[in-house]
Structure 1
């Protein structure tokens, strides 16, 4: 199937836009490759420190310098259900790589916080910045420069993007991502949403709410709804950074363990010491990033990835923006219905055909690039497969030709919707993202008076006091990354849903986040620029008529231009948001963070290597610094 013209156009534009920064990134990658792993150049004292606690046979392998050494970078903790299974993985990995003549070391751990626990709490204001902290922790883990490849163990919201950003800053090393899998299905998503709305109305007790939540989140593994965590796993599949079909195999099962062992052995097989060197900085290229955006849109994935994918791309020297998401969304059909865009969970999706079915459908429709390099060293079509146990190992079979449940997963020829359900809205209020895949068409346009709030607590107080029983657009400001770290605002969802169900025309406009839990109420989120960066949300006043229109891409205050221009920016005292729960430690992040559309990152695009440095490194081995992925492929 020929590539869809819009996919082709957007990809070409990204390549052209990124030429200078991608070239600089690849030059850095090549310089690191030329220098090589420093294990052989370390002093005896350095090296002795590096393997002092190693078992004798593994220590001997490292002393010989010839055996691949695989780093394990893990986000394990036993408080997060999604990451608790990682406790067992290092032992599985070490044994697996020994069988193929390699060694593995636990190089380092990274933070891993749960937005589900911190939701509506001060700790949520650390959440987005934890992504860049995780990238930094990944760099610390790899800074010893003793490794030939790395395995990255992570699942949830900021963790996988942070691990991948860190991995890309060590882009000369091969990288294989290792998931833990989702928990088994518990209370249905419909029942969970119902008890939350009843509690918000005062019709269910706290004990009833906790019982419902406990039946939903009940064991080891990822939450089973399609939020940011499971969107992460889908993207690792579409980007070719997982073994095929690895994402949604439940924890503590023989197949899960076999996939973990196979991932470890794959990492050992694609080092620079092999004939199949696959550094992650070349796996993640412009086409891979476009594939990730398409996969996100085709599944109605988390709006958080309009930040994270921008940041991931930036780490690889690639520049994307919300126009790219918007144009692709217009032509990428919706192939799944997974909660909150449907009733099913990810276990149901996997049983219906899973990621292999999805990738094949998108490839056959010309919506994904097949001519990419994945960790298999092949094109993306090699990932149209499903894993099965074969003794103690893994056998892959072709993905099923038909969906087992067309209420959950469909073909590209008969999608749930003709578009990806994510749109860019813009106007005199700035630029924002709307996820409309779960919003009924009659609710996608709202024109109503503004009610301005400076915190979600203020909103909830007004709701509980019965002051919101009318049509309105909630303008919730000072929620951007510079103001308070850009927390998610899930606490508003049940209240807004109740007002909409009561017949009110309501919408939300905010510079904060809603993530994968964006639901049936229209919400223009990530408004950029935020007020502290000179954005116009600070000009809105109570009673201004606000128009939010997903059909026309409009986000505007219908205020006469002369009135609008004469207004001064609103002010708010953010100091209470900057102290307590460790928030004072993140002042540097708040002061340096980029705009939401630029990924809300604390790092920039790669800068060119000074010519004298590049030539010195290249001359050391009689090589040259390449300027493209094509040079790498030719060398291979």
Structure 2
């Protein structure tokens, strides 16, 4: 048996100790919620129960009325604007039919909102994006509040949706559960080709029609976007944490194998929801070891920086106190084994074809870099997740051991030849506060940037300054008043083509912001999620144009090179954000902005 790496063991032990009282309270809560004999709906009054099955077809109504077998709640984020969620339209009927075959029932418990960051990038709606995570968690709670259910199936893929579903699901952690993915769309035009058109458009050498053609050739079919942003990082996390079936993250939608995996997920939850030794609540799967495995997966794949917010919040929902310092300590010992666009040329389909999650988990387990002794949807032990799903000649779902050699060393490698010796996410700290940086695709000669600050209060101001020819020099773009209390911590993707172009011209460029850049961030050094944020009077609000900023990713430092007494004496800048608090639904989220916690605590209200 492989010995667990001492740093993994040490960080896990630290989290267990830190979380002791909170985790104990959580486990006591779900134990109380799950106590009692029989199905949950047997405790409802006749009027409650009659309302609960009134709309069902005859067979399901009879079963629900009898109350002797499990009823699974389906919480769905289906809508047909999100390409990743479009395949979910037909899932409820498939799930209901499989449940009937298993001698139980299933009902759609409720729907949750599901917005697309790809549609709202650079728009007012992006300022609702992060808070939609907590709203989704609340909607999940409302969906399951009828107490009709003995297990749950969560249908969600994208950025804030999976974290929100899991936070909500953990409030019902006494229920056995599975996350059910739908898979990525087919590969479109090469990512590098799309990136070049975006940059050409930013430079003014490509037309809008040319840019739209490139984008439409990239995002072109039902399924998840194929770059390795937050949506696909979500899928990696759900698999490495044991909440999805082995090998299910990146199987294409609307295929026989995808349907077979969905069927098996229903059957697994049906088994786990029954009485006896197989009964396994979700809250027992998501423990400190599973959370650490998730962090390790992020490092090994160069996953989305958004999970330095989301995974902290998800862990907290399970009574677990995860900190950025834990990410940083684990990053030092976990090698980067995958390069998926924007950290490489390949997309998630190529990653999957090269061996995907099964190969990654097999390599990490063999090196003692994952907790194997965890509970999972597939059964005890993470080694089950080194198996690859396939259909035999009879159409039966089977799993076979993954090959020990990568099918494409350009996208996925073993422990003997990692892309880099450490993970792709790091903690920065200094007199500007704390921040995180993704370094997996930052050039080695850009790991240290020291340059004058140019201060902005809006990402559009950066683009305008570029168009005026004011940015053809070395500088650090300080884009502040973007945090959760200021305007909901939007993604700042509009900055990427402009800053990338300036870096390609030879300028030494960096970004410093209390906003977000997701898994789609890449080559330009970006100190993001700066906390305390400007709206809370953090040091970033004291930076002035021309101040020298030192961003040192190698040594984890983030400083403004100003005398400490002078910095402390400066009045923090203020910003009139009223225009960002009205319109496009933003006036509905004032309560969220006023009560959001700091970025390093999850940047939400839950």
What does 1:10-89 align with in structure 2 at a 5 Å threshold?
Answer: 10-35=11-36, 37-89=39-91
1:599 aligned residue: 602
2:124 aligned residue: 122
Deviation at 1:274, TM superposition (A): 4.3
Equivalent in 425, 449, 454 of residue 451 of structure 1: 454
What does 1:411-450 align with in structure 2 at a 5 Å threshold?
Answer: 411-450=414-453
2:331 aligned residue: 329
In 1, the alpha carbon distance for the partners of 2:9 and 2:533 equals 32
Normalising by structure 1, what TM-score?
A: 0.94
Q: Deviations over 1:261-298 (max 9, x none)?
A: 11111111101524301101010000000000000100
In 1, the alpha carbon distance for the partners of 2:472 and 2:147 equals 60
Partner secondary structure for residue 473 of structure 1: strand
In 2, the alpha carbon distance for the partners of 1:437 and 1:201 equals 26
| Alignment check: 8 A CA contact 2:535 2:574 kept | no
Deviation at 1:392, TM superposition (A): 4.0
1:178 aligned residue: 180
Deviation at 1:35, TM superposition (A): 4.7
Q: 5+ unaligned residues in a row in structure 1: which ranges?
A: 604-636
Partner secondary structure for residue 515 of structure 1: coil
In 1, the alpha carbon distance for the partners of 2:419 and 2:498 equals 28
In 2, the alpha carbon distance for the partners of 1:373 and 1:388 equals 23
| Alignment check: 8 A CA contact 1:183 1:224 kept | yes
The answer to whether the aligner puts 1:584 opposite 2:587 as a matched pair is yes
The answer to whether the aligner puts 1:94 opposite 2:96 as a matched pair is yes
What does 1:444-593 align with in structure 2 at a 5 Å threshold?
Answer: 444-593=447-596
1:4 aligned residue: 5
Q: Deviations over 1:460-517 (max 9, x none)?
A: 1101111101100000000000000000001100000000000100000000000101
1:260 aligned residue: 262
2:198 aligned residue: 196
Structure 1 moving runs of 4+ over 4 Å = none
Deviation at 1:419, TM superposition (A): 0.4
| Alignment check: 8 A CA contact 1:68 1:273 kept | no
Deviation at 1:66, TM superposition (A): 1.5
* Deviates most, 91-100 or 171-180: 91-100
Pair 1:541–1:491, CA change in 2 (3 A):
same
Partner secondary structure for residue 481 of structure 2: coil
Deviation at 1:159, TM superposition (A): 0.3
Partner secondary structure for residue 519 of structure 2: helix
| Alignment check: 8 A CA contact 1:359 1:383 kept | yes
Equivalent in 356, 359, 362 of residue 357 of structure 1: 359
Partner secondary structure for residue 474 of structure 1: strand
Q: Deviations over 1:81-135 (max 9, x none)?
A: 0000000111111111111111100111100000000000000000000000000
In 2, the alpha carbon distance for the partners of 1:205 and 1:35 equals 65
| Alignment check: 8 A CA contact 1:198 1:204 kept | yes
Partner secondary structure for residue 229 of structure 1: helix
In 1, the alpha carbon distance for the partners of 2:427 and 2:20 equals 25
1:634 aligned residue: none
Partner secondary structure for residue 39 of structure 1: helix
Deviation at 1:562, TM superposition (A): 1.9
In 1, the alpha carbon distance for the partners of 2:23 and 2:42 equals 30
In 1, the alpha carbon distance for the partners of 2:250 and 2:275 equals 32
2:218 aligned residue: 216
In 1, the alpha carbon distance for the partners of 2:383 and 2:446 equals 38
| Alignment check: 8 A CA contact 1:120 1:489 kept | yes
Equivalent in 226, 236, 240 of residue 234 of structure 1: 236
Normalising by structure 2, what TM-score?
A: 0.99
* Deviates most, 105-114 or 397-406: 397-406
Q: 5+ unaligned residues in a row in structure 2: which ranges?
A: none
Q: Deviations over 1:356-397 (max 9, x none)?
A: 111111011101000110112211111111111133431111
| Alignment check: 8 A CA contact 1:278 1:377 kept | no
Number of aligned positions between the proteins: 603
In 2, the alpha carbon distance for the partners of 1:16 and 1:41 equals 37
Equivalent in 287, 298, 301 of residue 300 of structure 2: 298
Deviation at 1:401, TM superposition (A): 1.5
Bigger RCO (CA 8 Å, 6+ sep): 1
